[in-house]
Amino acid sequence: MRIAVDQWRPVTGGSPEGLARLDAAAGRAAAGGADLLMVPEMALTGYNIGAEAVRAAADPENGPVTAAVGEIARRHGLAILAGFPRLVGDEVLNTVNLVDREGRLLASYAKTHLYGAVDRKQFTAGHAITAPVELGGWKLGLAICYDIEFPELARTLALAGAEAILAPTANMAPYETVATRLVPARAEENAVFLAYANFFGREGEFEYFGLSCVCGPDGNDVARAGQGEEMVFADLDREALAKTRRLATHLADRRPDLYGSLTTGGEKR
């Protein structure tokens, strides 16, 4: 499977602009032979836009934004992972949808770990981790931004069978080490591919640093963007995955009997 990770500036014109950009990106990704395109967190509307704007842009279940993403995927003949605010009852959720090349919804995930005042003012935390879903013979897990900084979430997905984790983000300075240190670590410690799609440029008080990447199951970069506008491509290699998993036996060597405090809460600092 070939993944295209598109790194772009935050949109300022809401979902019409976001969908137009997604359409253009899908065309470039398809021309580059990609089977799957992924874009940053809340790519279709912008991330740091305020609670009122987020609620106004929120797409209901099976709403027009969801339908438009599916149509773009169908027209260009590739799967797409794209994020936007979703309205469920009275809750606004920071959501990504994964659709296949026919435009069919395969999985939807709402960010479960909210970071800072912006996240908490704009969204309700998701209530569950989405089980890995199969696409093109690969089992894919979903995470969003801050989620991937929690080893428990990535490990949960790996134990559920994920072979690759897709993590769109809106990560800003001074947290570049998430992209350069934590993301490779999450890939290596779970022996999975990990794709991380970020913005670049300014949005409100945030300066996004780019550095989107796809890391292999050994933690090394398969593809890495710089800090400007860029689309990078990476091929998921099943032989490389199998070789790494023969050597890296962390999942088999775990001692769950020692980890009870992880689920009971343990002592807070």
Helix-then-strand count for the chain, H and E: 9, 15
d(CA 73, CA 101): 5
DSSP-derived 3-state class of residue 78 = coil
Q: Which residues does 222 contact at the CB level (< 8 Å), separation at least 6?
A: 193, 213, 214, 215, 216, 234, 235
For tokens 């300022």, the residue is 12
Residue appearing with tokens 């994920």: 162
Residue 41 a catalytic site member: yes
β-bridge mates for residue 99, sequence order: 80, 105
- Nearest C-alpha neighbor of 159 from the set 254, 241, 238, 243: 254
**Which member of 102, 139, 145, 203 is catalytic?**
145
Please give the DSSP secondary-structure letter assigned to residue 189: H
**Exposure letters 15-40 (e unless 16+ CB within 10 A, then b):** beebbebbeebbeebbeeebbbbbbb
Map tokens 């149509």 to a residue. Answer: 71
Give the Å distances, CA to CA, from 80 to 69, 143, 231. Answer: 8, 15, 14
Element (H, E) at 21: helix 14-31
Spot the catalytic one: 17, 41, 152, 176: 41
Is 111 part of the annotated catalytic residue set?
Answer: yes
Which member of 17, 52, 61, 111 is catalytic? 111
List, in sequence order, the alpha helices (H) in 32-145.
51-57, 64-76, 116-122
Catalytic residues: 41, 111, 145
